[in-house]
Amino acid sequence: MKLPTTSEIIDDIEFLDDWESRYQYIIDLGKALPPLTEQERVPEAKVKGCQSDVWMHAEKAGEQLRFRVDSDAVIVRGLLALVMAAYNEKSPGDILAFDVDQYFLTLDLERHISPTRGNGLRAIVGKIRELAAAA
């Protein structure tokens, strides 16, 4: 399953009536992410600042950055899918120009996840933006 675009995700989330349905949608998005192998789940790939274990691998593919991510928590995999819809296979300029705060605000996400999950989400976004700035 290919991840939807950010605008498709926003439309889908807005269509759903309650946050229980929205959580399930986010979890289902996470199931679309290909898992990392045990050999890829190395300490160097861990994203610091996340409550759950999160691993990220990045590579440059032409003018784009490609990310592979995974987590040991199903809801976090879903949150990673939301982030990947925004950033995966985009140019460093597009990554830095994307208004992730507005995206999360539109999704009404941060009011519905725990503060520690919110901090982890910010850590993931920060790592991606750091990689894009260095590319």
Pick from 92, 39, 46: nearest CA to 69: 46
| Residue 95 CB contacts under 8 Å (≥ 6 apart), including other chains | 65, 87, 128, 129, 132
Give the number of residues written for the chain. 135
Which of 33, 50, 65, 86 is catalytic? The answer is: 50
CA dihedral 21, 72, 43, 123 (to 10 degrees): 20
Q: Compute the 3-state secondary structure of the chain and give helix, strand, coil in percent, each to the nearest 5.
A: 55, 15, 30
Are β-strands 64-71 and 54-61 bridged in parallel, bridged antiparallel, or unpaired? Answer: antiparallel
Based on the residue annotation, tell me whether 50 is a catalytic residue of this protein. yes
Instruction: Give dist(CA 59, CA 6) in Å, integer.
Output: 21
Which residues form the catalytic set?
50
